[in-house]
Amino acid sequence: MILSELARVVRSKNAGPTLLTIDVLFADQVDFERGKAALTARVVAARYGRVPDEVSIMAVASAHAVKIVLPRKVPAGAPGDKDVYGAQQHAPLLDVAV
């Protein structure tokens, strides 16, 4: 199974103009544990062409959520930025095997 089949929400958004945050929300505890195990810093970094040290991952059990934070390469809206709101940066995770 891949992440897009397991997760209920996979959303990306700026957390301010310098950071990107990706929230992966699951329907229940079982799915959450399964997704959490798959979404390691190494796996996420590879998907974005980053090094694992740049990736921060937090599990939030109350929301059945995994939060990923990445530094943006360019501050939001600066010349060369490709996604001002950071709302379309989730796609590389959708086919991660879970």
* Interface with other proteins (CB under 8 A): 9, 13-19, 21, 23, 25, 46-49, 56, 58, 60, 62-65, 67, 69, 71-73, 75-85, 88-89, 91-92
**Rg (the chain; Cα; Å):** 13
| Residue 5 or 28 having the CB closest to other proteins | 28
Tokens of 92: 């590389």
> How many residues can be counted in the chain?
98
| Residue 21 or 38 having the CB closest to other proteins | 21
Query: How many CA within 13 A on the CB side of residue 26?
Result: 25
Strand partners, 69: 21, 56
| Residue 37 or 73 having the CB closest to other proteins | 73
- State the minimum distance, in angstroms, from the CB of residue 72 to other proteins: 7
